[in-house]
Amino acid sequence: MCLTEKKRENQLLILYASQTGNAMDAAERFGREAERRGCPSISVLSMDEFDPSELPNKEAVILVVSTTGQGDNPDSMKGFWRFLLQKNLTEDWLKGVNYAVFGLGDSSYQKYNFVAKKLDKRFSSLGATPIIERGLGDDQHPSGYEGALDPWMSSLWSILYQRNPRLLPNAITPDDTLMDQPKVQVIYHDTEEGLSPMTTSTDFNYLEMQLEKAHSMNPAKYSGKNRPDCFLKLTKNNLLSQVESGKDVRHFEFEAVSCAIDYDVGDILEVLPGQSPEALDAFMQRCNLNPESYITVVLTCFQVQVQARDNENRGFQKPSSPVKLKSFIELTMDVASASPRRYFFEVMSFFATAEHEKERLQYFASPEGRDDLYQYNQKERRTVLEVLEDFPSVQMPFEWLVQLVPPLKTRAFSISSSNSAHPNQVHLTISLVSWTTPYKRKRTGLCSSWLAGLDPNQRVLIPAWISKGCLPPPPPSLPLILVGPGTGCAPFHGFVEERAIQSKSVTTAPVVFFFGCRNEEDDFLYRDFWLSHLQKDGVLSEEKGGGFYVAFSREQPHKVYVQHKMREQSSKIWSLLSQGAAVYVAGSANKMPADVLSALEEIVSNETGVPKEAASTWIRTLERAGKYHVEAWS
């Protein structure tokens, strides 16, 4: 089909749905590349900024979407997707619209790139014409998702040019010397201008104000909500694992200091971590920034790469009151934890004054240098500060740093307490993240190491947000089959606490919990807690139809995992499923969720005598009925 068949204007619409920023980064790259190929009109928008009823009027649409959790839509896509599922949309609603879908996913997850696949299928079912077969980026590829993106994008431009040369007149000879303009402008102020001095009596009010101002100025749309739900103070920091185990797993308890805290079991706590003062100082010194300056950051006229939906949004935003430059960096820019993206190296190359540095940066930013960049940057998890120190001749304007330094993002943790059992408190179970890079450099997770270093006797205010997770709170009448090895036990600690409270006033259904760890002595997390609820009339007790089963993977020559313990309790599991039980699974996303699912299918097949395919269908029915939930993390 010719792209100009319906005489639509030569416009390229690029829509993205991003949870962590990768899809947004890829979409903006599409916009830059299209501009270099001479496309006369380009819009790059998050799906929640676009009115999907306008889709039939578009000529060419590129959709860049990530898959989150267990095949879930990113938050910014949910409204867009609901619109596309309307029954009144006919099979020719998008006739004449040409589209392409690129997905970002991780093949270690069971529903790999599920969102991209279903979006592609839906556009096709509504009559749209695919420009090219959907592309699927994989985080497990040696070059990350860009391993699939580069060749897919090259083919896309070629096909678009063949169909409509006016859309991409320079597709064959793109202008690679074109330098973009930053999306933001930084305005500096006198220190007295519009400031509210901090006082000890209103410290969290001041911090809240700083957060709101800094986040509202940050160009990253995926850096979280501006206003925290609450501020927390750490009251307990207890080591759960044994020192000799080689793991550092901790139990944290926090109390709310700014307002009452409210949550359900299964909810998520998002924490904004602190950054190392030494790293912040080193970054500002490397970039010749005055930490005492006061600034406002405003989005400039949206260039080709990011256009506003409505005309009134074009031009400068109304500046908010100033914020201290050091506070802005500390609260919004991840300078010493996150790795910069590929575009960071491309912009750096324009500001490099040493020729050998310029050549290396240009190579890193090119398709030919993609694999070497991945080895240098992502595999080593080099930070922005480390990269800047490796290229000392580069002096990037602060506007570019604001735009390109990855935003400081909240870290999400499963809540491991019951609000009923611990009013105005929230508990977390966290394993200190640490690893060694291919070049033998020690790395630790920003948030877990920061929390582990906090002293409960010091007053450190922690901005926090509460959100719904993948594990809805079960009613007391619902039988439960819980599977949570390692720190996957965290949400179920809260589940058991909650059901113990409920059992004092109403009759509660049985709870069976399958836990796994390496050794009984080293990392049997919350051992006394589980065993106490296993006693007579306890939530997990046999008398109440429950059970508690532990898989110690390293205590015998052969490995024993939770799925093995599940098979040993096959009849009990099927009995609970027959009573309408719900299955909850939490823990590592590596192999565990798939192994647990396979064990359940085998149990259903063996207990009922049906083929495994029929058992698999039965489990999917359980999932659709809202009785099979998985919360997994990498």
* Residues tagged in the binding site annotation: 18-23, 66-69, 104-113, 139, 381, 411-414, 445-448, 487, 553-554, 559-563, 595, 633
Q: Please report, in range form, the residues annotated as the binding site for NADP(+).
A: 487, 553-554, 559-563, 595
Query: What does 260-309 look like in DSSP terms, one character per residue?
Result: -----TT-EEEE-----HHHHHHHHHHTT--TT-EEEEEE-S--TTS--S
Q: From CA 26, how far away is CA 445, in angstroms rounded?
A: 25
Taking CA atoms, 527 is separated from 415, 534, 540, 627, in Å, by 18, 11, 13, 27
The token duo for 266 is: 């299964």
Q: Cα torsion for 492, 495, 496, 497, to the nearest 10°? A: 120
The token duo for 172 is: 């064959």
Q: Read off the amino acid at residue 205.
A: N
Enumerate the β-bridge partners of residue 442: 436
Burial of 563 (0-12, 13-18, 19+ CB in 10 A): buried
Burial of 264 (0-12, 13-18, 19+ CB in 10 A): middle
Query: What does 428-459 look like in DSSP terms, one character per residue?
Result: EEEEPPEEE-TT--EEE-HHHHHHHT--TTS-
Taking CA atoms, 211 is separated from 37, 328, 412, in Å, by 40, 8, 18
Q: Please report, in range form, the residues annotated as the binding site for FMN.
A: 18-23, 66-69, 104-113, 139
Q: Read off the amino acid at residue 285.
A: Q
| DSSP at 544 | G
Q: Please report, in range form, the residues annotated as the binding site for FAD.
A: 381, 411-414, 445-448, 633
CB 61 within 8 A of CB 97: yes
| DSSP at 68 | B
Residue 94 φ then ψ, to 5°: -105, 25
